[in-house]
Structure 1
Amino acid sequence: MPGKLQLAAAARQVDRSIPSREYGAQIKALEKVMEGYKWAADNGAGFIITSIPNPIPNVTSDRAVNGLYFGMQRFIYDKEQVRAVPYELYARQSGRVGYVELWDDESAGSMHVKIIDDNTLEVFNDAKESDEKDRLIYKKVARFEKNPRENRLESAEESGVFR
C-alpha cells in the first residue's frame, strides 16, 4: 500500500523442540541489554524483565531443564498491571529472523524482541506481523511517566451523559 511502511519480516519455521539454550548467545545478549531496566513505549506500555530460575523445578523435560526464563512486571504508565499468575516467560528462537521470542504459557501470548541499540528495543506480538502499526518501540527510561489523562475530567459525551 502506498504511504504505509511495510517492515520486512523474514519468517521461518522454527523447531519448537529445541531448548532455548541452543540459542543462548542471542538470548543472553538480549538479557544483558534489557534485564532490570525500565522499558516504555510512547503509548504508555512498559515493562521490567528479570532472569528467573526454572519456574517448574520438578519437571524434567528438556525445556524445563535447559530453558532460559524471565519474569516480567508490566506497566501502563506508572501503574503496575498485576495478574493472578506472575509472568514467567520462556525465551526461545523467534520465527522472526533476528528476534528472540519471550513466550508466556499462561496467556499463550508472546513478544518478539530485537535489540536496536542499548537504549532501544523493537517488539512485535506475532512473528508474522510486518506492518508499521504492529511494531512497538521501547526506550530505556529512568522512571515510568504518569498518565497524562489521569486527572483530566471526562466530557459529558465521554461520561455517557450525552450520546
Structure 2
Amino acid sequence: MNNKLEKKFIDLLEQNQNIVHKICRIYAYDEASHKDLFQEISIQLWKAYPKFRGDAKFSTWMYRVALNTAISLYRKKKRSIRTTSITEFEFKLSEEKYDDETEANLKLMYQAIKELNDIDKALVFLYLEDRNYKEISETLGISEVNARVKMNRVKKKLKELINM
C-alpha cells in the first residue's frame, strides 16, 4: 500500500479509535484480552481498508469490521484465538486512556451488557453510540424494523439484569 493511503488510514483510525476501545470493553474480559482484541481489530481494519469504497461513512464501516472481528473471535470462547503480530505493521497509534471514575460509573452497565448474546451486545453498543436505526441495521445486516424490535427487547432484558 502506498504511504498516502497508509497515512489516511492511520489518521482515520486514530480519530475513531474510541469505537474499537468500546467494542473491546464489551467483548474482552480483562486488560490483556482488551489489548489483543484491539490489535486484532486494527489489523483486520488495515487488511480490509483497500476494499473500503466509501459507500458508507468510515465509522459505520469501522463498526461493522470491528464488531464482526470481535464476534467471530469471542463467539466460541473455547476456540483458540489466532492473531497476527502488530510488529508486521509499521504504524503506531497513540493510545487513549479511560478515566477511572467514569469507568467505575459504567461498571454495572458493562456487567449487564456482558450477559447478553453477541448480537445483542453489538446492538446495544451501536445504540449507546447514538447510531440511528438505519445505521444500526446497515452495520448488523438486519432490517430497520428488526433492529427496533430487538432493541426494545434488549432494553427490557438489561433492566432485568441490572435490577437483579
Q: TM-score, normalised by structure 1?
A: 0.27
TM-score, normalised by the number of residues in structure 2: 0.27
By percentage of residues, which structure has more helix? Answer: 2
Larger of the two Rg values belongs to structure: 1
Between Structure 1 and Structure 2, the one with more strand by share is 1
